[in-house]
Amino acid sequence: MNKAPINVQDSFFYNLRKDNTPVMVRLTSGEERMGRLRRFDKFALVLEVDGREEMIYKHAIASIRPESLPPGA
């Protein structure tokens, strides 16, 4: 019986999307984007930022950090 390999990335992104967790995405250029993960695939993710959707290619991402909401938000 062959087991499917564990994909850490997919599990991480799936939980962020499912829980509607705000994330800070730092790009390799140093720019940061704060938003909510809407969709992702092998090559890119779609981040909702200020009511707009932005597609970000994974090769341009340096890090992704889950953020907590400010109190009362």
Domain coverage including residue 42? 8-66
Total domains in the chain come to 1
* Angle CA 65–21–39, to nearest 5: 90
Q: For residue 73, is pLDDT > 90?
A: no
pLDDT tens per residue, range 11-60: 999 999 999 999 999 999 999 999 999 999 999 999 999 999 999 999 99
Sheet holding 52-57, edge to edge: 52-57, 44-49, 32-40, 22-27, 61-66
Q: Tell me whether residue 3 is in a domain.
A: no
pTM: 0.81
Q: Tell me whether residue 17 is in a domain.
A: yes
CATH of the domain at 41: 2.30.30.100
Q: Tell me whether residue 34 is in a domain.
A: yes
